[in-house]
Copies of this chain bind each other. A is one copy, B any other.
Amino acid sequence: MTAAASRHMANSFDPARAASLPPADVKLIARRDRAMGAAYRLFYDRPVHVVRGEGVWLYDTDGDAYLDAYNNVPVVGHANPVVQQRVAAQLGVLNTHTRYLGDDVVAYAERVTGLLGHGLEQAVFVCTGSEAVDLALRVARHVTGRRGVIATSHAYHGTTAAAAAISPSLGPNNPIPDEVELIAAPDLASESPAEAAAALASRVTSAVAALRARGHDPAALIIDSVLSSDGLQGTEANVLREAAAAIRAHGGLYIADEVQSGFGRTGAWWGFPSQGVEPDLVVAGKPMGNGMPLAAVFARPEHFDRFGADMRFFNTFGGNQVSVAAGQAVLDELTERGLVERAGVLGASVLNELRGIAAAGNGVGAVRGSGLFFALEVVDDAGRPDAARASAVVNRMRDARVLISASGRDANVLKIRPPLVFAEEHAPILLDALAGALHH
């Protein structure tokens, strides 16, 4: 096992290689290790030292520009001026919590739930996707009076204790408690969408039985609507629909994790509608404030009514006026610039190009895409997952100044997920760099 593999993260920097870096970076990494400790990881064999961003571009200490084809947080662009101006203006006026009455958070809750529809009429604001997942689990367990949760076998849902407990992609040292049952995600490389949907529902039913055998009734099934960490296995319509019906049939709730798929990533505002599911609870985060910490749980009113009647919930920074100003600016930018629609149209075009690269015989197996989120399976000559070559491709692209990463249960899936300001003129840069890195 390589040192990187022992760190249980695709595309993780191996500190043993630090000596080959520029002296200033070696020194900074040493200071970082000393002051921030061993739990932090850097990306790439040669970490990128970023000092500035603008739109889809990040710039390093030498002034070199990197095309950002990875970051889903700065959805309306690095250093977006509308976000900057609104946040700066609000910081000069008021930034306080929700125990005083205020218009801003109410107006934002109304706007964002209006974009959700599907009976998800209420929002509770927190600061991170992890907090949102954690709260959704608390709500699901409280309203059902049950403890069991079902998640997919390479899922990532967050880092609080409760969220990490349903995040097996954190590696073998991350304990999964006996009230959690993991099920294999669909495998769209080997199953048709209809087969995948039926098989997933069948695994939910088996998981319910397994939980009950350990004394836990099922409170919830939680699935990332595009199954990102499982290798972007949620790109086909209705693959999750029967699984959602199965958990409901057993009295559990369905939680749609939209931290990855929400706010336009897939070419639609949310990932779950194309899956044909009607979630009880939805969690959202990363792109919501373009990097300002803003996240939320959305729910059918009966769930928050029940939870709220018994419990109070308060997040000091959740829904503060400054985070809400960022959230409103993101919605304005996405809407006024037509970024959601473009993610769909441009995404389809890029996906087509990626399939062309794969068909040309570059050691790429399945290619999947949903809006501006793409996954390419890097395989060896026998068609088996090839994590080492995926890592080499990611690092060659970094050297060509195009930022992507790798993920999936076998760490062989190239993960391409640019900010939604990624436009037509950026696609050739990405595609050329990818083709070059694959041909190497």
* Interface residue A343 (Cβ < 8 Å from any Cβ of B): no
Given contacts A39-B307, A123-B35, whether A128 and B317 have CB atoms under 8 Å apart is yes
| A96 and B71 within 8 A (CB) | yes
| B124 and A159 within 8 A (CB) | no
- A/B interface sample: 7 pairs, CB < 8 A: A32-B106, A38-B305, A71-B97, A73-B96, A81-B92, A88-B88, A96-B291
| A36 and B105 within 8 A (CB) | yes
| B91 and A304 within 8 A (CB) | no
Q: With A and B bound together, what is the CA distance between A52 and B317 in angstroms?
A: 17
A155 to chain B, nearest CB (A): 15
A residues 281-332 with Cβ under 8 Å of B? Answer: 285-286, 291-293, 299, 301, 304-305, 307-320, 322-323
Q: With A and B bound together, what is the CA distance between A313 and B9 in angstroms?
A: 11
| A311 and B134 within 8 A (CB) | no
| B159 and A313 within 8 A (CB) | yes
| A51 and B94 within 8 A (CB) | yes
A43-B99, A286-B316 known; 16 new pairs, CB 8 Å cut-off, are A35-B109, A35-B113, A36-B105, A37-B123, A38-B309, A39-B312, A41-B312, A58-B96, A58-B100, A73-B316, A84-B92, A130-B131, A134-B160, A160-B161, A171-B312, A293-B323
Q: Which one, B9, B100, B137, contacts A312 given CB within 8 A?
A: B9
Q: With A and B bound together, what is the CA distance between A160 and B124 in angstroms?
A: 13
Copies held by the complex: 2
* Interface residue A103 (Cβ < 8 Å from any Cβ of B): yes
Given contacts A102-B51, A315-B130, whether A161 and B161 have CB atoms under 8 Å apart is yes
Q: Which of A95, A309, A319: most chain B Cβ within 10 A?
A: A95
A residues 32-57 with Cβ under 8 Å of B? Answer: 32, 34-43, 47-53
Q: Which of A53, A87, A171, A316: most chain B Cβ within 10 A?
A: A316
**Contact code string A127-157 (vs B, CB < 8 Å = 1, else 0):** 1111100110110000000000000000000
A90 to chain B, nearest CB (A): 9
Q: Which one, B93, B126, B305, contacts A37 given CB within 8 A?
A: B305
* Interface residue A29 (Cβ < 8 Å from any Cβ of B): yes
